[in-house]
Amino acid sequence: MVDADKPRVLVVDDASLVRLYYRDALEAAGFQVDEAINGLEALEKLLLAPVDLLVVDVNMPRMDGLTFVQTLRRQPMELASIPVLMTSTEAGAQDIAAARAAGANVYLVKPLAQETLADYARALSGASA
């Protein structure tokens, strides 16, 4: 069921347990959550219904997170302006730089505490606490 008053988040990650963990945290924080298993599926979903925030993994099959964000940033403004919180187990300076260069707003290293994810999601989406 869609609740127009709740901000919408699309979680893009190929790991079902990660998607479930993020869903639990975000729904508890008052978000509506949808999921995609890679960047291609995420693009398809965004064309049907834009969201208020994207939580995107870096390493995924078919279309990885960096390629997805680069592609997103070349779309019309309604899609290109969606905030992106990128996550990965990679913690090197080059990984953070690559995410920023692709167009991510924030880069967080997994594992994430649910409260941390919720706090960043609220800040990036403009949702109230």
Q: What is the pLDDT of residues 83-125, one digit of tens each?
A: 999 999 998 999 999 999 999 999 999 999 999 999 999 999 9
Kindly give the residue spans of alpha helices, DSSP state H, lying in 59-92. 65-73, 77-80
How far is 66 from 128, CA to CA, in rounded Å? Answer: 28
Q: What is the pLDDT of residues 14-55, one digit of tens each?
A: 999 999 999 999 999 999 999 999 999 999 999 999 899 999
pTM score: 0.94
- In 3-state terms the chain splits into helix, strand, coil percentages (rounded to 5) of 45, 20, 35
Residue with the two structure tokens 């187990």:
89
